[in-house]
Structure 1
């Protein structure tokens, strides 16, 4: 039973609101940890896929499908009905149940004997993870006011950075010692314990709790619009549309690169799986943490100095500075130089998530926050996660007759070249947000 509930299961609104605000730091920590497990379980395949490729006799295209499309279709599409449940009901229960489900299926991946069994297990991971981010975004938006929201979302986005890094460190180390199947068990099963902690310790906050200046009873407690109306309302907002497009293209590039990054380091730079796990991943985690937290802090600062629209333009500046580093990384042949460039690029490229999601949550109607988050994640994951790793795998296989093991290098480089497309959308979002603020 929740700490804010009576013996009959009824929630005392005043007690729940007070306790939710008192525990918001703990709540943000647990939600970030759940997101960490989500991304660790999702991305562990990247460090293990060279072993899996040999063990199960898979092609790059099949690896891309496992990392991308097979996972993303279910993760993205189920996020919409889950968000609808989150906008209507208890978000904490949804997150806890989803966490237990995807953790179990991550462990099941370690039992797979062929491509189809591993595909089924990956689908299960995607089904479970669909229940995490939309309700988490909604809860964070309720607990933190607009001027602090980007910083909170920046901390939450650490789940991406640290989840990928620790998935690489733990997965690579355990696989080096005991094999890739043991690595799947090791990262999957602890998530079930975390699910219990989320259920017991996180308090469901009142919707709009930190938006007192705009909360009206009709919006906070009225009839919830349909899914179709939610889609239409989001894409009718031009600033929200460009933010979604910007983060989608950025995710297309990022998911493709992260899915095959460890393989690229092993194939083209000659760095062993174990060295990627014990040297590259830990430093990458530090750089990614600085990027995510620093990006959220910088976004809060520029919003206070110039207005919320400046957050979108901050992303443009960071991406422009980071793009040459990406090209240098994929063209460099010396391992030490390439890894140093990689660390420098991480300081810039991971700073976009917190400000982007904070801006979208700020534009969303109170009763549609989880749905707007789900729509954003639907597009990001269906296009970015679904197509990114899959397309890199296809391109790499297509280039293999000409470039051999170096085909992956050129596939990765091709994706980096799409960055200006994302920059255009972030720039336009900033223009529209500034124009809207001026006319408000």
Structure 2
């Protein structure tokens, strides 16, 4: 670094310009978008897979949930520990290549077992994105802007859901569900290459200590502390984020809300097909454009609103998600009480705006609560709890509810065993039109009731955020003091 003339009138240039940081954040959003395209596309094309392979809704839930979540959650922690010491950009780039490849392989599966194995592979790759990405963003953006930056990163969730639904639905309708996996999976490799070529590894703690230089960092220059520096233990990180009242309830809130979100989200598209007879392309447009826009607005609004209101009181980092979830719950239920799909689709614009306000604030609080070399691990621990419970068991639980309700409705009409006579939710070959009609009616109404029962879980999550607001300012001050001592 060259000397700075003390008589110069211009301030020394930051190591990274605002435009560069914005570009880096944009690439990370793109990576997270492909992450969610590949993760959630199965919810859009699941009905086609269910019919083709003769699956139950519980099996469909396992494909969208536990099969993916098992390795996604368990590998997140060791990858995060690696990210505390090693180059985070390299870790993210390799992870994208892995999950993109396995997503494409899902299109080659010809059995439930093969799909399970390939979905496990998708989970392996996707475990390597968010922990190092959260750590990178926290080094690029200072604490007062962190919830906003992380909400922008989380915008990849509705974007990925939107593009996955629209593209996946259209491809599955016009080609096949197998082609959908291949065509949405492989482009992710280009994102991995772009990240590797463009994104620099920032110094740890860059946003806290605001280092400046008057010359640019050379390509390939090492800006990371030596890998021999030992980060705090996993136990120390766990105590920090789970050991205080407000942090515990915020983790509980995001976990329970995500349980309902992953569970009902797995079957929303299938419900519109079963209840209203829509095709895959139409359903993809509904949940991609209508649901995706609403969720995107809510995700961004949650971060901007809480960073703004948080200047007045730190309680708003919990109150905004609480209010959002408690308002979203009845609005979602109203959607599934409609008998006209057009009204149901139009009403989807409302709940998503309130629902997704919890993402940015929660991630921001967790990142601000820990010290520099706890950040990737803190995200991994949060995601371990969140995704093992929510992603792992939310879809199978909702699918089980739909299966049980459908079975009871079918049996109430003295039709026999639903699972024997209705493989894939339609009448078995040779069963006749009466049985087929009864199968379709049972699975449609079973889907409606099963989803509504699961939607009530949003209110439970909102209560946890209300409880978090009680001590959040005090706990944040205590965590900041502890971080300064680390």
User: TM-score scaled by structure 1?
Assistant: 0.91
In structure 1, C-alpha distance between the alignment counterparts of 2:47 and 2:252, rounded to whole Å: 32
> Shift in Å at residue 19 of structure 1?
3.6
In structure 1, C-alpha distance between the alignment counterparts of 2:462 and 2:450, rounded to whole Å: 21
> Shift in Å at residue 330 of structure 1?
2.0
Instruction: Say if 1:17 and 1:206, in contact at 8 Å, map to a contact too.
Output: no
Change (3 A) 1:362 1:221: farther
Verify: 1:429 aligned to 2:468, yes or no.
Answer: yes
Q: Which residue of 2 aligns with 1:416?
A: 455
> Shift in Å at residue 139 of structure 1?
0.6
Change (3 A) 1:244 1:57: same
Verify: 1:378 aligned to 2:384, yes or no.
Answer: yes
Q: Which residue of 1 aligns with 2:255?
A: 248
> Shift in Å at residue 231 of structure 1?
2.1
Q: Which residue of 2 aligns with 1:276?
A: 283
- Aligned pairs, how many? 421
Structure 1 residues 203-222: Cα deviation after superposition (integer angstroms, max 9, x where no partner): 11111111229xxxx9x996
In structure 1, C-alpha distance between the alignment counterparts of 2:477 and 2:286, rounded to whole Å: 49
In structure 2, C-alpha distance between the alignment counterparts of 1:341 and 1:46, rounded to whole Å: 20
Instruction: Say if 2:369 and 2:476, in contact at 8 Å, map to a contact too.
Output: no
Instruction: Say if 1:245 and 1:425, in contact at 8 Å, map to a contact too.
Output: yes
1:210 to 185, 207, 225: 207
> Shift in Å at residue 40 of structure 1?
0.4
What does 1:188-227 correspond to in 2, within 5 Å? 188-212=185-209, 223-227=230-234
RMSD (Å), alpha carbons:
2.2
Verify: 1:366 aligned to 2:335, yes or no.
Answer: no
Verify: 1:167 aligned to 2:164, yes or no.
Answer: yes
Instruction: Say if 1:19 and 1:203, in contact at 8 Å, map to a contact too.
Output: no
In structure 1, C-alpha distance between the alignment counterparts of 2:300 and 2:316, rounded to whole Å: 17
In structure 1, C-alpha distance between the alignment counterparts of 2:269 and 2:115, rounded to whole Å: 20
* Bigger helix fraction: 1
Structure 1 residues 353-386: Cα deviation after superposition (integer angstroms, max 9, x where no partner): 1111011101112110100000000111000000
Verify: 1:123 aligned to 2:123, yes or no.
Answer: no
Which consecutive residues of structure 2, in runs of 5 or more, have no partner in the other structure?
2-11, 211-224, 410-441, 482-486
The structure having more radius of gyration, on CA atoms, is 2
Instruction: Say if 2:30 and 2:156, in contact at 8 Å, map to a contact too.
Output: yes
Change (3 A) 1:232 1:280: closer
Is 411-420 or 372-381 further displaced after alignment?
411-420
Instruction: Say if 2:85 and 2:230, in contact at 8 Å, map to a contact too.
Output: no
Instruction: Say if 2:333 and 2:455, in contact at 8 Å, map to a contact too.
Output: yes
Q: Which residue of 2 aligns with 1:259?
A: 266
> Shift in Å at residue 409 of structure 1?
1.2
> Shift in Å at residue 142 of structure 1?
1.0
> Shift in Å at residue 119 of structure 1?
0.7
Which consecutive residues of structure 1, in runs of 5 or more, have no partner in the other structure?
5-14
> Shift in Å at residue 202 of structure 1?
0.8
In structure 1, C-alpha distance between the alignment counterparts of 2:42 and 2:13, rounded to whole Å: 40
Structure 1 residues 56-100: Cα deviation after superposition (integer angstroms, max 9, x where no partner): 111111100000011111101110001000111111001000000
The SS at the match of 1:210 is helix
Verify: 1:136 aligned to 2:137, yes or no.
Answer: no
Verify: 1:387 aligned to 2:393, yes or no.
Answer: yes
